Structure 1
Amino acid sequence: MITRLTHTTIYVLDQDSAKSFYVDKLGFQVHNDIVMGEEFEGSGQGFRWLTVSPPSQPEVVFILADCRMGHAPDSAEQIRALVAKGALGAGVLAADDCHKTYAELSERGVVFLQKPAERPYGIEAVFRDDSGNVFSLTQRR
């Protein structure tokens, strides 16, 4: 029986930039930032395992993955293109006060595609991470 989600993959265009975005702008905490495994795509080293979590939910881990991780070169390029143009909706992040969180994140440089607005399910704002992934920031009713 499946009991819970522990990890989810977010494909990013640049892991250093993504780490800075998720930590400095969103306030996430780094779990792991290590190189492991066999040589990765001719880099001379293994792949970088970079994971972060919201501070209030450390058991949910976001893998900030290089688009090449686990993919053939042609597939990796297709994923990169989709991420960069914002074609991938990465998920929904919860906020106790969407308007306040929107203001705080905007001050930190997060780019919002939609300001907080009333929806049937609550208040929602939409933003992109520095790679192009789209997130809904939602305050539930």
Structure 2
Amino acid sequence: MKIAMVSVLVKDPVKAFKYYTEVLGFEEYMYSPENYIAIVKSPLDGDGTTILLEPIGPGGIEIASKFKHEIYDMGMPVITFSAPDIQKTYEELKAKGVKFKKEPTKTDYGYEAVFDDDNGNYIQLIEWNQ
């Protein structure tokens, strides 16, 4: 088995779809805004894992909304993306207005940064040691 899709909880899948495609550079996999369906994929991994931008509203599940807000308040990333050159990716995203909570920092496993996805989630960005 392999991972086919993961979910990231978002308040507004239409807004999130625009951000993930226009700012972060993901590609449309499936998009049906009238049905609150927004799925994106990495242009670097055509057959890889997709991300469902899972709506918590309107009429979303209350526990999902509570979980999302509490994780954000804790400052915990909900998903991790990798980049072959984290400094370059950081500079490109910052130039597009992405707000970073943590700039690229050396760790035991490589480099990491954390940014806000403009939909109430922190995303970790990793460059693994080679």
Q: TM-score range by the shorter chain?
A: 0.7 to 0.9
CA RMSD between the two structures: 2.3
- CA shift at 1:66, angstroms? 0.5
Residue 31 of structure 1 corresponds to: 29
| Structure 1 unmatched ranges of 5 or more | 36-44
| Structure 2 unmatched ranges of 5 or more | none
- CA shift at 1:86, angstroms? 6.2
TM-score by length of 1: 0.79
| Alpha carbons 1:86, 1:134 under 8 Å: kept | no
Sequence identity of aligned pairs in percent?
27
Change (3 A) 1:106 1:75: same
User: Residues 13-92 of structure 1: matches in 2 within 5 Å?
Assistant: 13-34=11-32, 47-58=35-46, 59-68=48-57, 72=61, 74-79=62-67, 81-82=69-70, 85=73, 88-92=76-80
| Alpha carbons 1:14, 1:131 under 8 Å: kept | yes
| Alpha carbons 2:90, 2:104 under 8 Å: kept | yes
TM-score by length of 2: 0.85
Change (3 A) 1:92 1:80: closer
Change (3 A) 1:31 1:56: same
The runs of at least 4 aligned residues of structure 1 exceeding 6 Å deviation read: none
Larger Rg: 1
Change (3 A) 1:14 1:119: same
| Alpha carbons 2:39, 2:52 under 8 Å: kept | yes
